Amino acid sequence: MRSSDCGARGREYESEWNSRFERYAKAHAGEAAEFKSMLAGELPSGWDAELPQFTPKDTLATRESASRAEQAIAKKVWNLFGGAADLNESTFTNVKDGGDFERGNYAGRNLHFGIREHGMCAILNGIALHGGFIPYGSSFFVFTDYCRPSIRLAALMELLNALGELNAEPGEASAAEVFAVGEAVEALVVMLAPFAPHVAEEMWEGLGHEGGLARAALWPVADPELARKEELEIPVQVNGKLRSRVVVAPDISETDLRTIALADPKVQSFIDGHEIVKVIVVPQRLVNVVVKK
């Protein structure tokens, strides 16, 4: 079939679908309006009304606090749709009482992707491209390596979630919203950089920065004073095998460290009756006592 024939057939199908939808809209005006709103990527009024509030004093794991926020949003935004790469018991991302999306239950809100992060992200990209649903997936951060092809495609296709859209179109949001979202997106990009630097660099440039993420001077600088320890725990070996540990001051001399290591009762029990060939001292790191058996 020629491409021109495909185009003609597609226009025919689209015209038929539009006619059917017009008839549906007349009979179900509320549902039709909601459908159009979802395709336009709009959130319902009051979608964030029941979001939980957390403070630094809360001891919840972030996956648990995020799950509570998700459940509150899911009550208002029924087109929030996704799941986990067989890790819901750890990520807590299933919509409670949402049912499973499967054969015979296409109203289910929870997708079971299986142990396949790459497939999960590819599916999410497809749902995002179609529109209507707000897709999400979940896994452990270390498994983003499996997601790199889909992450790369999402970046090339400029698939944006609500955060990205708000940051890309500041004219539709208040200055405070843009500033807050911009900070949040930048923080996420910085965290992504060690794991997918090429993707992070593109996202950083997309946020309007010049010079590259590696030159942005965002990384913390070590303070030698904060890194200083009041005492050190030094392993003591006998013939290369760990036999004890001694606690000493950081500035202890090699001679004193040697003396303390040899006087340790556990070390004594291994060297007693043996000739000491030599004592190797690595300052602030290690003592190895070599004995003749």
All structural domains of the chain with their residue ranges: 3-39, 62-215, 225-292
Q: Is 233 a catalytic residue?
A: no
Reported as a single tens digit per residue, the pLDDT across 97-123 is: 999 999 999 999 999 999 999 999 999
- Which candidate in 42, 102, 117, 165 is catalytic? 117
CATH number of 62-215: 3.40.50.970
Q: List, for residues 25-66, the tens digit of each pLDDT value.
A: 999 999 999 999 998 888 888 888 898 988 878 888 888 888
Q: Is the pLDDT of residue 174 over 80?
A: no
Res. 153 pLDDT band, cuts 50 70 90: confident
CATH number of 225-292: 3.10.20.590
Q: What is the DSSP track for 150-219?
A: HHHHHHHTT---HHHHHHH-GGGS-HHHHHHHHHHHHHHHHHHTTT-HHHHHHHHHHTT--S-GGGS--S
Distance between the two ends of the chain, CA-based, in angstroms? 86
Tens digits of residue pLDDT in 210-257: 777 766 666 666 677 666 678 899 999 999 899 999 999 988 999 999
